[in-house]
């Protein structure tokens, strides 16, 4: 049977395990993030999306990643503090992971298989976005440069 989003477990920013099965019937935007990137300001837009849609069965999961020009050097605690203080982030932050290469988190291996991008089986840069439908299987991919507010039509389509 083909895996779905609900088959994965990830680690939260505080070190606790989080089964994505708890998100069944929720549309999820998954984003690899970084605190020292030209796209970092997107955290504010992501938070606005989260506030607008969270009561309609939508959430955002941010996965900090330091694989692109060392733009996420901080610890999980430093990342959480930065996101809260500078962007008011309240959506779930996960522990720092790798999204490419041999150490890529299995969730990202699956996401890239479901929605290959221009580079096929890899992530090009920080703030690549994957929108997963409530079925846990349908995945749309959006480039780093796609601003969060540009996702509204797609989000409404999966709610």
Task: Render pLDDT for 105-141 as a digit per residue (tens, 0 to 9).
Answer: 999 999 999 988 776 678 999 999 999 999 999 999 9
Domain-by-domain residue ranges, the chain?
5-158
Per-residue model confidence (pLDDT) at position 121: 76
Catalytic positions: 37
Per-residue model confidence (pLDDT) at position 59: 98
Pairing type for strands 58-64 and 27-33 reads parallel
Give the global pTM.
Answer: 0.95
CATH topology classification for 5-158: Glutaredoxin (3.40.30)
Per-residue model confidence (pLDDT) at position 119: 63
Q: What is the H or E stretch that residue 129 is in?
A: strand 129-132
- Contacts of residue 76, Cβ cutoff 8 Å, sequence gap at least 6: 13, 14, 15, 64, 93, 95, 96
- The tally of CA atoms less than 13 A away on the side-chain side of residue 134 is 10
Per-residue model confidence (pLDDT) at position 116: 85
Give the chain's mean pLDDT: 94
Judged against a pLDDT cut of 90, whether residue 38 lies above it is answered with no
- Contacts of residue 151, Cβ cutoff 8 Å, sequence gap at least 6: 29, 49, 129, 131, 142
- Provide the b/e sequence for 7-24 (b: ≥16 CB within 10 Å): ebebbebeeeebebeebe
- Contacts of residue 78, Cβ cutoff 8 Å, sequence gap at least 6: none
Per-residue model confidence (pLDDT) at position 41: 92
Cβ atoms 31, 61 nearer than 8 A: yes
Q: Is the dihedral of CA 47, 48, 51, 52 positive or negative?
A: negative
């Amino acid at each position: 049977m083909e895996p779905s989003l609900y088959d994965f477990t990830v680690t939260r920013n505080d070190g606790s395990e989080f089964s994505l099965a708890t998100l069944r019937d929720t549309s999820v935007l998954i984003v690899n993030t970084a605190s020292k990137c030209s796209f970092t300001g997107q955290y504010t837009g992501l938070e606005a999306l989260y506030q607008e849609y969270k009561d309609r069965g939508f959430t955002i999961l941010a996965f900090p990643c330091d694989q692109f020009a060392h733009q996420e050097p901080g610890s999980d605690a430093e990342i959480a503090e930065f996101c809260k203080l500078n962007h008011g982030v309240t959506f779930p932050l996960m522990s720092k992971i790798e999204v490419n290469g041999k150490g890529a988190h299995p969730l990202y291996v699956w996401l890239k298989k479901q929605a290959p991008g221009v580079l096929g089986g890899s992530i090009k840069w920080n703030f690549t976005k994957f929108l997963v439908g409530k079925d846990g299987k349908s995945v749309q991919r959006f480039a780093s440069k796609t601003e969060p507010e540009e996702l509204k039509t797609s989000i409404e389509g999966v709610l």
